[in-house]
Amino acid sequence: MSVTTNAAPLKIAEPWFDEVETKGVADVLASGQLIQAQRVLELERAFAEETGLAQAVMVSSGTAALHLAMLACDIGPGDAVAVPDYTFVATANAVACAGATPVFVDVAPDTYNMDPAALRSLIEWMPAQGGGFRLRMIMPVHQFGLPAEMDAIAALALEHGLVLVEDAACALGSRYRGGKIGAWGRAACFSFHPRKVITTGEGGAVVTNDVALADRLRALRAHGFAVPPHRPELVEPGLNYRMTEMQAALGLGQMAKLPAILDRRRRLASLMTRALAGLSWFAPPQAPPHLSPNWQSYVGLLAERVDRTKVIAHMASRGIETRPGATANHLLKAYRDCPPAMTPACPVSAMLDARTLALPLHPLMQPADVERVADALRAYQAE
């Protein structure tokens, strides 16, 4: 469909960089020190302080963070990990790539997050299934930056002796009952992909209060060599998941902007919700009072009768990028056809997979851009 507007294209996400990041990266290039060094350390300190955890381990992506967390928690063959069905595939992939089995939990229709009642059912249902899998870990996702129901999920982890690791890829700056995200379990994993609130191009971090776990993560991200104060010997086979100094320079610039980024996102999201009020066929994202999202993405729900492909084409014809929300993992070929698909039904996730729509929301947008998005959506003839 052709673009029928002269207005600048509006992307779903765009990073906010300025001369701080430009100079930071140029300084790294001039120094010749490209791989993990002082800037990565500095970013780790800043990130630990921001999240309130004792240790932050910077890595090359959010996926690398999740994979390392699996390895460092000794998750492997024979283990099962409960993950929400409605998420980006990296969550389940990290489990599968550690040799373990992801088991999918349905989500709540209002928050799109792991449903604690469905998690309880899964925990009670799994032992009867046989198959030689033992549930060892719960990995909730704070989808689109809205915190999962952590009181209930952490209580289930405690009750059943399960390891808890948060996939906080989207949730830097979000709050649960006023508290920060990342301290509920043994570790939490963040992503700095360009669609996240801060970006290093690709990049990620694992945070934890467990110093021994952090040491192991640091060894595993650099081939398996122990880190100081331990002797620098190869303690176990590891990977190369290090963050570069260029990424860290971007990260340091982004961390300085974090309060302003979060503030802009919150204002724009609230404007968007107001501008879309009364639209019968698009339900804006919900944020119950005890959950404060960072508005990493603005994802609403289309009425069943609305053809999402046509809405996306309609918005594109006005120069506005929109996208489906996340994916129902149990419907993906790799998880549908393989033995790991030992999953109870996830009807809510399947519904969200078909009907969610992400609208542009990023800190370079102006209030007029929000109006433009809302006007374009309103102009779609849904009947």
Ligand X SMILES: Cc1ncc(COP(=O)(O)O)c(C=O)c1O
Q: Looking at the annotation, which residues are catalytic?
A: 196
* 290: three-class secondary structure by DSSP: coil
Q: CA distances (Å), 105 to each of 117, 140, 187, in order?
A: 9, 9, 20
Least distance from ligand X to the Cβ atom of residue 62, Å? 3
Least distance from ligand X to the Cβ atom of residue 191, Å? 3
Binding mask 90-119 for ligand X (x = CB under 6 A): xx----------------------------
Per DSSP bridges, beta strands 327-328 and 204-208 are unpaired
Q: Which residues neighbour 164 within 8 Å (Cβ) at sequence distance 6 or greater?
A: 137, 138, 139, 140, 153, 154, 157, 184, 185, 186
Q: CA distances (Å), 279 to each of 109, 150, 319, in order?
A: 19, 32, 21
Residue 16 or 281: which CB sits closer to ligand X? 16
Least distance from ligand X to the Cβ atom of residue 87, Å? 5
Asked if 325 touches ligand X (CB under 6 A), the answer is no
Of 25-33, 165-173, 255-263, 352-360, the window that binds ligand X (rule: CB under 6 A) is: 165-173
With 0-12 / 13-18 / 19 or more C-beta atoms within 10 angstroms meaning exposed / middle / buried, residue 332 is middle
Residue 168 or 222: which CB sits closer to ligand X? 168
Show contacts with ligand X in window 170-189 (CB under 6 A): 170
Asked if 85 touches ligand X (CB under 6 A), the answer is no
Of 113-121, 162-170, 310-318, 341-349, the window that binds ligand X (rule: CB under 6 A) is: 162-170
Size of the site for ligand X (CB under 6 A): 14
Asked if 87 touches ligand X (CB under 6 A), the answer is yes
Residue 90 or 287: which CB sits closer to ligand X? 90
Least distance from ligand X to the Cβ atom of residue 255, Å? 16
Asked if 147 touches ligand X (CB under 6 A), the answer is no
Report how far residue 105's alpha carbon sits from residue 141's, in angstroms, rounded to the nearest whole number.
Answer: 11
CA atoms within 13 A on the CB side of 93: 12
Among 67, 193, 265, 318, interactor with ligand X by CB under 6 A: 193
Report how far residue 61's alpha carbon sits from residue 52's, in angstroms, rounded to the nearest whole number.
Answer: 21
Among 28, 98, 169, 320, interactor with ligand X by CB under 6 A: 169
Residue 95 or 170: which CB sits closer to ligand X? 170
Residue 90 or 172: which CB sits closer to ligand X? 90
Residue 149 or 369: which CB sits closer to ligand X? 149
b (16+ CB within 10 A) / e for 167-194 = bbbbbbbbebeeebbbbbbbbbbbbbbb
Report how far residue 210's alpha carbon sits from residue 216's, in angstroms, rounded to the nearest whole number.
Answer: 10
Of 84-92, 232-240, 328-336, 368-376, the window that binds ligand X (rule: CB under 6 A) is: 84-92
Task: Report CA torsion sign: 206, 105, 71, 161.
Answer: positive
Of 58-66, 71-79, 224-232, 279-287, the window that binds ligand X (rule: CB under 6 A) is: 58-66
Residue 113 or 292: which CB sits closer to ligand X? 113
Among 88, 112, 282, 295, interactor with ligand X by CB under 6 A: 88
Report how far residue 341's alpha carbon sits from residue 317's, in angstroms, rounded to the nearest whole number.
Answer: 39
b (16+ CB within 10 A) / e for 346-365 = bebbbbbbebbbbbbbbbeb
Among 51, 174, 191, 327, interactor with ligand X by CB under 6 A: 191
Least distance from ligand X to the Cβ atom of residue 143, Å? 7
3-state helix, strand, coil in the chain (%, to 5): 40, 20, 45
Nearest partner of 238 among 222, 215, 218, 226, judged by Cα:
222
- Do residues 164 and 151 lie in contact, with contact meaning Cβ atoms separated by under 8 Å? no
Report how far residue 331's alpha carbon sits from residue 316's, in angstroms, rounded to the nearest whole number.
Answer: 27
Residue 141 or 154: which CB sits closer to ligand X? 141
Asked if 62 touches ligand X (CB under 6 A), the answer is yes
Among 40, 46, 100, 141, interactor with ligand X by CB under 6 A: 141
What are the residues binding ligand X (CB under 6 A)? 61-63, 87-88, 90-91, 141, 167, 169-170, 191, 193, 204
